[in-house]
Amino acid sequence: MISKEDEDVLKGLSAEEGLQFLASKFADGVVFSTSLGQEDQVITDLIFKNKLPIKVFTLDTGRLFYEHYDLLSKNNSRYKTKTEVYFPDASDVEKYVNEKGINAFYYSVENRKECCFIRKVKPLNRALENAKVWITGLRAEQSENRENMPVVEWDEERKLYKYNPLIHWTYQDVLDYIEENKVQDLPLHKKGYISVGCAPCTRAIEPGENPRAGRWWWEESHKECGLHTH
């Protein structure tokens, strides 16, 4: 359990110190879900270089860019470890594609959210089974939906705590860390893909656009897939 006192402590710690604090408080049950984006690469570096007992995993939706797989391989080589990979249920994907079409997500928000649920939310829920603390790479300035997210929050649906160590970091903070620590990141970022999801659902953004504008670019929505809705 994370007490109110623990929450107050975490608010005053750096991201690295916060990860170390939680890793020492919980013998197991602390997990980190990485999408291999820049924020998640920062956290991955903090976990692995400090050899923290935190489970690191990623979701392979089956529609990722090739660059995701290349970076995952480079991470495993650099840190001499293996990030666990979770896949969607094949029968769920087959049913969706055969009934609605391979790119049905373009035709309605409902179809898109169903695809996200099958390919991301359900595998995530499996990965989070028995977890006590879920670490994320969310930042407040990424979208309106994330502006008021706290450093630590209780996820009632999944019955665990979410720790957002970079919630108050700016994008420049992320870039500075990557440069100073020579952290590998997706080549796509230099091509205007700031927030990178599945390949058919992501486009490069124009200068001045919100980083999430490139996600599900054909629709008007809160630009969320269902992983972080609390």
Q: Which are the catalytic amino acids? A: 225
Residue whose C-alpha is closest to residue 173's, from 208, 140, 151, 130: 140
198 by DSSP, 3-state: which?
coil
Token digits of residue 165: 């160590």
Residue whose C-alpha is closest to residue 215's, from 101, 66, 105: 105
Distance from C-alpha of 46 to C-alpha of 39, rounded to nearest angstrom: 11
Distance from C-alpha of 12 to C-alpha of 116, rounded to nearest angstrom: 35
Instruction: Confirm if 204 and 192 have CB atoms less than 8 A apart.
Output: yes
Distance from C-alpha of 230 to C-alpha of 155, rounded to nearest angstrom: 7
Distance from C-alpha of 161 to C-alpha of 156, rounded to nearest angstrom: 9
Give counts: helices (H), strands (E), the chain.
8, 6
Instruction: Confirm if 118 and 227 have CB atoms less than 8 A apart.
Output: no
Sign of the torsion formed by the C-alpha atoms of 223, 54, 52 and 22: positive
Specify which residues 202 forms β-bridges with: 215
